[in-house]
């Protein structure tokens, strides 16, 4: 009877190790197949232009926020910047 218990314990440990290995392998496959931070729809130049436009817009908005905080401009909900 003791021998069967030992064999069953060994099988449970082996199953646990196998499940962990399969889970780790599945996570590795998912990680490798995900696209990550790359944007394959745009070339490097187009992506650089998008980032530059975004930084410019964010800089204008931060200037608006600073002016509103320091009460340098009358209250209003419209930005003076040409946003298209």
Q: What angle do CA 42, 62, 69 make, to 5 degrees?
A: 160
Which residues neighbour 50 within 8 Å (Cβ) at sequence distance 6 or greater? Answer: 42
Domain range for 29: 1-34
pLDDT one-digit tens code per residue, 14-53: 788 888 888 999 888 887 777 566 656 788 899 899 999 9
The answer on 58 and 21 residing in a single domain is: no
The answer on 56 and 29 residing in a single domain is: no
Find out whether 47 and 39 touch, Cβ atoms under 8 Å: yes
Question: What is the pLDDT, as a whole number, of residue 81?
Answer: 67
The answer on 80 and 50 residing in a single domain is: yes
Residue 81 or 30, more confident: 30
Query: pTM to 2 decimals?
Result: 0.44
Percent of the chain with pLDDT over 90: 18
């Amino acid at each position: 009877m003791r021998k069967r218990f030992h064999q069953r314990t060994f099988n449970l440990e082996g199953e646990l190790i196998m499940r962990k290995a399969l889970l780790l392998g599945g996570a590795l496959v998912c990680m490798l197949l995900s696209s990550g931070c790359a944007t394959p729809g745009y070339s490097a130049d187009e992506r650089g232009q998008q980032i530059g436009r975004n930084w410019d817009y964010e800089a204008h908005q931060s200037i608006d926020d600073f002016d509103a905080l320091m009460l340098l401009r009358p209250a209003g909900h419209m930005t003076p910047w040409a946003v298209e």
